[in-house]
Amino acid sequence: MLNDLQLNSILEDFDIAYWKISLLNKEVSWSEHFNTLVGNPEFSESHFEFFLKEILHQDYRYDFRVYFDKLTEENEAFNIELKLKLSNGKYRWFECRNLKNKENNKETAVLLFVNIHQNKRDQYTIEENFFYYRETAQMTTTGGWYIDTVNKNIYWDSVTKKIIDCPLDYQPPYEEHFKFYAPEEHPVVISAFEKCEKYGIPFKVELKMRNLYKKDFWVRATGKPVYNEDQNIIGIRGVFQDINEQKINELNLQNSLDIIATQNSRLFNFAHIVSHNLRSHSSNLCLIVELLKDAKTDKDKIELIPNVMDISENLDLAINELNEIVNKQSILHKERRIVSFEKALSGVMASTSSLINRENAKIVAEFHALKEISYIPEYLESILLNLITNAIKYKHPGRKPVIYIQTYIENETCFLEVSDNGLGIDLDQYGDKMFGMYKTFHENLDSRGIGLFITKNQVETLGGSISVTSTVDVGTTFKIKF
């Protein structure tokens, strides 16, 4: 058995002090090391009261007294962490626990004070670091993930689960992890992960992901390989940062830039057309004026007057057509509204009822898949008007015109199709001129080549596109992507 001197020496090496407590009268005697720790104080009262008032941090006084009383009165063991003021005036963390008495000694109890200050500081440092990591992750909406490529497991932290919009207890299935990426992103995802897993190439990409409820959103995904001691890749570790709002704004901005670029291009073309057309008429007018100056007789001058009238009419017609285009373009400043396709078509059919009835045209509409759309109402009516009147104008001479109009959604994109059984257009010959200004492909006298030019401008102005398929003598289909 060790005597007190030997025991005290060993405990000092481990920075452990102890109390001996008389369970009969609650008297406390401190070990030498405890005295050394607190500075060998001079007592004007009992060790216990001095300890409570001068050494034990005030936050722990109440609890310690309760535990001490239970120990001395009911022999009930306890174990708590507390702060003691040492001889240098600074507080340090100790673990205080009752040393269990195997001999069931009812006269003496022992309390150990184990210095745990360094462990406590390490714990606080870890908690503090984790706090900053967690706060940073939450503030930047950045979550961590790990893929165990050996055991085929996936781990997401709480922020990643929040980004994916799944419960905190959700375990992502390894075999189905591709379902969390939008289908169009699969080639990028497969390439990035394969290169990282096979060759250790890190990646940083922007991806469109899909949450549990199949809603798409954007993230910036960063991944790096994880190696074992033999430098073999055993997993991929990375982060997801939610950039959905930023990416949507970026895409909208790019879309706006594209629209502006398109509008600038159209404005340039329009200016070129205006310049060309007006110059042509003004040149003819100048020529006639020169001829009038050179005319030697009144008869010669009178013969030139019809030419002046023709030029005047053509100039007036050109100006009116250009004015019509400008008026159509000015609608751009109007705001989009929810427009019913059926209501828009009813308005167009009412305004063209005489033409429809005269040509005995049949219009079939199917709007069940997409009944309405956010659009400028005047644009939608103008588009329908141009395509319907064109279909009737260029009807096949051997059959009544039939126009089939339908709307649908494909890959989350809205479409409108207008098909007819008319003359059709030779796209091999005229395909690149279909939507050009003053381009006509049949011999109708009232054809001006303005309608499709305006329609294309209206569709593209609102970020859409228009395409055409046609077979001569069979019919034509215009497909508008909104």
pLDDT attached to residue 290: 83
Q: Is the pLDDT of residue 218 over 90?
A: yes
Residue 394 has which token pair?
């260029």
> What's the sign of the alpha-carbon dihedral 86, 89, 92, 95?
positive
Q: Is the pLDDT of residue 38 over 80?
A: yes
Is a pLDDT exceeding 60 seen at residue 279? yes
CA dihedral for 381, 385, 386, 391, sign (positive or negative): positive
For residue 30, the cross-strand partners are 19
Backbone phi, then psi, for 172, in 5-degree steps? -65, 130
> What confidence score (pLDDT) does residue 233 get?
92
Q: How confident is the model at residue 194 (pLDDT cuts 50, 70, 90)?
A: very high
Looking at residue 428, its pLDDT comes to 80
Percent of the chain with pLDDT over 90: 29
Q: What's the pLDDT at 412?
A: 82
Mean pLDDT within 12-38 = 86
Q: What integer pLDDT is reported at residue 86 of this predicted model?
A: 92
Kindly report which listed range (32-46, 67-81, 387-401, 433-447) carries the lowest average pLDDT score.
433-447
Kindly tell me if the per-residue pLDDT of 82 is higher than 90. Answer: yes
385, pLDDT greater than 80 = yes
Residue 331 confidence (pLDDT) = 54
Token readout for 138 is: 């939450």
Measured distance CA(285)–CA(291) in Å, rounded: 10
HEC secondary structure over the chain: CCCHHHHHHHHHHCCEEEEEEECCCCCEEECHHHHHHHCCCCCCCCHHHHHHHHHECHHHHHHHHHHHHHHHHHCCCCEEEEEEECCCCCEEEEEEEEECCCCCCCCEEEEEEEECHHHHHHHHHHHHHHHHHHHHHHHCCEEEEEEECCCCEEEECHHHHHHHCCCCCCCCCHHHHHHHECHHHHHHHHHHHHHHHHHCCCEEEEEEEECCCCCEEEEEEEEEEEECCCCCEEEEEEEEEECHHHHHHHHHHHHHHHHHHHHHHHHHHHHHHHHHHHHHHHHHHHHHHHHHHHCCCHHHHHHHHHHHHHHHHHHHHHHHHHHHHHHHHHHHHCCCEEEEHHHHHHHHHHHCHHHHHHCCCEEEEECCCCCEEEECHHHHHHHHHHHHHHHHHCCCCCCCCEEEEEEEEECCEEEEEEEECCCCCCHHHHHHHCCCCCCCCCCCCCCCCCHHHHHHHHHHHCCCEEEEEEECCCEEEEEEEC
Q: State the pLDDT at residue 258.
A: 77
Whether 1 has a pLDDT exceeding 60, the answer reads no
Summarised one tens digit per residue, pLDDT across range 206-215 is 999 998 888 8
Q: What is the pLDDT of residues 440-478, one digit of tens each?
A: 655 555 555 667 887 887 788 778 888 988 888 888 999
Structure tokens at 408: 């649908």
Mean pLDDT within 195-199: 92
174-187 tens-digit pLDDT: 888 888 999 889 99
* pLDDT at residue 300, rounded to an integer: 82
Split at pLDDT 50, 70, 90, the class of 414 is very high
* pLDDT at residue 205 is higher than 80: yes
What pLDDT score was predicted for residue 310? Answer: 80
Q: Sorting pLDDT into bands at 50, 70 and 90, what band is 109? A: confident
User: What is the rounded distance in angstroms from the CA atom of residue 207 to the CA atom of residue 410?
Assistant: 21
Question: Quick one: pLDDT band at residue 105, thresholds 50, 70, 90?
Answer: low
Q: What is the mean pLDDT of residues 341-364?
A: 88
Higher pLDDT: 69 or 455? It is 69
Instruction: Please say if the pLDDT value at position 439 is more than 60.
Output: no
Please choose, from the candidates 370, 327, 389, 326, the residue with its C-alpha nearest in 3D space to the C-alpha of residue 480: 370
Q: Are strands 402-410 and 362-366 parallel, antiparallel or unpaired?
A: parallel
Mean pLDDT of 26-47: 86
Q: Tell me how far apart the alpha carbons of residues 160 and 252 are, in angstroms, rounded to a whole number.
A: 26
Q: Tell me the whole-structure pTM to 2 decimals.
A: 0.44
Output the CA angle 9-12-13, nearest 5 degrees.
95
How many C-beta atoms lie closer than 10 Å to residue 34's C-beta?
23
Q: How confident is the model at residue 46 (pLDDT cuts 50, 70, 90)?
A: confident
The pLDDT of residue 356 is above 80:
yes
List the structure tokens of 370: 């997409």
pLDDT at 329: 59
Q: Mean per-residue pLDDT for 34-63?
A: 89
Q: Tens of pLDDT along 149-176?
A: 999 999 998 889 988 888 888 888 888 8
Rounded Cα distance, 60 and 52, in Å = 9
pLDDT at 479 over 90: yes
Taking the CB of residue 199, how many other CB atoms lie within 10 A of it?
A: 9
Q: What is the mean pLDDT of the chain?
A: 84
340 pLDDT higher than 90: yes
Answer whether residue 253 shows pLDDT above 60: yes
Residues forming a β-bridge with 242:
219
pLDDT at 81 over 90: yes
Nearest to 252 by CA among 295, 299, 218: 218
Residues 6+ apart with CB under 8 A from 301: 292, 295
> Is pLDDT of 2 > 60?
no
pLDDT over 60 at 333, yes or no: no
Please give the Cα distance from 84 to 366 (Å, whole number): 84
What is the structure's pLDDT at 136?
75
Instruction: Summarize the confidence of residues 41-54 as an average pLDDT.
Output: 87
Tokens linked to 166: 């799944």
Residue 263 has pLDDT above 80, yes or no: no
Q: Looking at the predicted structure, is the pLDDT value of residue 334 above 90?
A: no
